[in-house]
Structure 1
């Protein structure tokens, strides 16, 4: 009578075991530089703009039921107008408006389809930015939640009409939190963050499976910009990733080249995983990016690679951009 329930639990436990082993509990993005606050909440609103990003990713094209991710993120800086008085002579003063603010906000929703498991998640982020001469120190925290469900259309079972099993709740709702710190200068950025801090356990109905938990993920990121010419900028960067188990320790070595702030191209090497080629263009306030992942594992024998598309819009004129922050 409980056959179907056991199968549901079996699928979910198997899924949690596999992602605990390989550390892929979070959606993978190759163009994370464009939405850095998803890895480090301290980056929400760091450039002073309001930006909206839409990402679509098809992983391991050619493999049936391979991961497929769609995501929408929004971030902004809460700015207010203040007035600065400047004396031009003993009798004359000029007052001019200035836009400033220290609070950044971010929001993020995604859907990740991985075989029979469907994950939907959302995240709300708060960041506080502290100006320090020609640099900035930022702190951020995120509250997030994941909903795991099983696509019954992908499962063929006997005794489909068992009323007890039909009424059983097959959706898991898991809350969690992230924290991050980041330091910026005009050329340098360094950040440290941790995600899934609560290590929530798999729970189905009234039963909790404490042996199968979300793992904490730790990130260390950094990069530096070199002005080669007035029109060409090169930015090497690095991202180190690990989980509680340290089985999934991974490093991304990245290098991007920007031309006139309107075009960019880059390469990324993700250890024991993939080589990534990326390119993009800026048209007015719109940004279009593409990334292709060539797998370095045995899965490349069966896959045509992974493809990721990004469309973004940044709202706000140049006066809203803080001079010591990321220009791209």
Structure 2
């Protein structure tokens, strides 16, 4: 095999992998919206730590795998104050010194020959509009892309795997921005990822640069209270890019108090997702199974995603109407 053929094949595999899925894919994002929107950081008043592990298309070699860890909190110098408008009525108001949220997020995503490690630092500012909270968030991010050439095997073992002109590791700085509107009944969010649309310098002059596309996320959901402490929450997530590659998720979740939940999602990219979870004190455990509606399921056992979260902070630190997961 000629060296130019090796380089060309590696380039095609690399670009195909990252174009199909430039950012990590999650199925339980509705339980940790911070993964998609930096404005969510600290919006519920809790300090939370979330761990997610996703194995996509189990049974297929080198299929996508994602592991992430996120942290977010609200900086509260003082607790909430109570204003009495009458003897029987009291109104909770947030302290003016508790409007800042911060967060961090790290992930490792492996997709075929390409592995990506990234981190994000987030600053969010929250404003009260009557009984609704408006939040803005800005995040600095960085990604390290690496071609895992050790996974390739050639018939001619004497042939160099990569030419000196092809970079194996690429570091890309970037930024995300988001807006988030939250009420005790509904939420609406909009965010943009990969604002800089950086170019990845791959290969030699004979190979084109590859641009990281700007991603747009529009989400929304509404909570309907049912009888006996049950809640029904339909939601939607619309994802698109600069090249107008779009995907829509339709979700519905049935929850009992904060203790148990089940859900169902349909992804227009061709997947049905089953969701389930339970809360044990301050710990939350969730599971998602993705059934892909394509021929790939003939060779795969589906995609599996596990989520664990722990939330710190007593009821004095959170908004009364945000007492939900």
Question: After TM superposition, is the score higher than 0.5?
Answer: yes
**Aligned 1:213-228 pairs, distance under 5 A:** 213-228=211-226
- Aligned equivalent of 1:202: 200
- Aligned equivalent of 1:7: 6
Q: Secondary structure at the match of 2:98?
A: strand
Instruction: Please report how far the alpha carbon of residue 321 of structure 1 lies from its aligned counterpart in structure 2 after TM superposition.
Output: 1.2
Task: Tell me how far apart the structure 1 counterparts of residues 175 and 70 of structure 2 sit (CA, whole Å).
Answer: 17
The answer as to 2:308 corresponding to 1:291 is no
- Aligned equivalent of 2:125: 128
Task: Tell me how far apart the structure 2 counterparts of residues 209 and 270 of structure 1 sit (CA, whole Å).
Answer: 34
Evaluate the alpha carbon distance shift between residue 215 and residue 114 of structure 1 in structure 2; reply closer, same or farther with a 3 A threshold: same
Aligned length: 316
Instruction: Please report how far the alpha carbon of residue 272 of structure 1 lies from its aligned counterpart in structure 2 after TM superposition.
Output: 3.0
Q: Secondary structure at the match of 1:48?
A: coil
Deviations 1:111-170 (A, max 9, x none): 111112111111111111001111100001111111111223212355669699579752
Instruction: Please report how far the alpha carbon of residue 325 of structure 1 lies from its aligned counterpart in structure 2 after TM superposition.
Output: 3.4
CA contact (8 A) 2:51 2:307 kept: yes
Instruction: Identify, as 1 or 2, the structure richer in strand.
Output: 1
CA contact (8 A) 1:9 1:204 kept: no
- Aligned equivalent of 2:310: 313
Deviations 1:272-298 (A, max 9, x none): 320000100000000000000000122
Q: Give the aligned CA root-mean-square deviation in angstroms.
A: 2.9
Task: Tell me how far apart the structure 2 counterparts of residues 187 and 150 of structure 1 sit (CA, whole Å).
Answer: 45
Q: Secondary structure at the match of 1:101?
A: coil
**Aligned 1:97-112 pairs, distance under 5 A:** 101-112=98-109
The answer as to 2:153 corresponding to 1:156 is yes
Evaluate the alpha carbon distance shift between residue 168 and residue 301 of structure 1 in structure 2; reply closer, same or farther with a 3 A threshold: closer
- Aligned match for 1:77, one of 70, 74, 77: 74
Task: Tell me how far apart the structure 1 counterparts of residues 176 and 219 of structure 2 sit (CA, whole Å).
Answer: 15
Structure 2 gaps of 5+ residues are 86-92
Structure 1 gaps of 5+ residues are 89-96
> Could you tell which deviates more after superposition, 284-293 or 200-209?
200-209
The answer as to 2:173 corresponding to 1:175 is yes
Evaluate the alpha carbon distance shift between residue 119 and residue 84 of structure 1 in structure 2; reply closer, same or farther with a 3 A threshold: closer
- Aligned equivalent of 1:245: 243
- Aligned match for 1:188, one of 186, 189, 210: 186
Q: How high is the TM-score relative to the length of structure 1? A: 0.87
